[in-house]
């Protein structure tokens, strides 16, 4: 059985459809699939046609703008959520009761993105009593293993010294 691949022309109309999907989803592979073309076709056209590459960048920028606006909306203004109690929607004056739901996590991420110097996660601790600055790092697994090996060797040496002193 032979592998027969069919190709679909990536016409200007299909490119517009692709760009609309890209503005909506922000993902080239997904947008290509929805358009009926391969991601490889999109990549080839980006490399070959500067104007198309610019359109792709613009569409991704629009998606990012919409994503940021949505994040601000959820973090700062909140999102209405219908109140449910005992499995039933709570009604008030004939309408479902709602409450504002905010996202503290998104809020903090927005602060870090807007003013990273002020809201960054500090990796150092200052010690006022002398001795300088203690820098706290996140060691890799190999670094942890090296530290454990060193501590074990020091313990073995100490035990040997204590035994020799007896």
Q: Give dist(CA 80, CA 59) in Å, integer.
A: 29
**Could you tell me the pLDDT band of residue 4, with boundaries at 50, 70 and 90?**
very low
Q: CA 24 from chain center: how many Å?
A: 18
User: Tell me: the pLDDT tens digits for 100-140?
Assistant: 988 888 888 888 888 888 887 766 656 566 666 666 677 78
Q: Give dist(CA 10, CA 52) in Å, integer.
A: 12
Tell me if the pTM is above 0.75.
no
Q: How far is CA 36 from CA 29, 42, 88, in A?
A: 11, 11, 44
Where along the chain do its domains lie?
Answer: 7-77, 78-121, 124-165
User: Tell me: the pLDDT tens digits for 44-86?
Assistant: 999 999 999 999 999 999 999 999 999 999 888 888 999 999 9
Count CB neighbours of 166 within 10 A.
4
């Amino acid at each position: 059985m032979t592998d027969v691949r069919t190709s679909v022309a990536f016409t200007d109309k299909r490119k517009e459809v692709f760009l609309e999907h890209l503005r909506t989803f922000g993902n080239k592979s997904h947008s290509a699939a929805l358009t009926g073309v391969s991601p490889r076709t999109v990549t080839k056209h980006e490399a070959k046609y500067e104007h198309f590459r610019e359109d792709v960048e613009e569409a991704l920028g629009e998606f990012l703008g919409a994503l940021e606006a949505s994040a601000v909306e959820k973090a700062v203004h909140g999102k209405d959520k219908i109140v449910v109690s005992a499995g039933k929607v709570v009604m008030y004056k004939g309408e479902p009761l709602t409450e504002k739901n905010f996202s503290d996590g998104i809020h903090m991420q927005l602060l870090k993105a807007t003013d990273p110097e002020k809201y960054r996660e500090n990796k150092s601790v200052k010690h006022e009593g002398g001795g300088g600055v203690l820098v706290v790092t996140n060691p890799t697994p190999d670094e942890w293993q090296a530290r454990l090996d060193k501590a074990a060797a020091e313990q073995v040496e100490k035990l040997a010294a204590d035994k020799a002193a007896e």
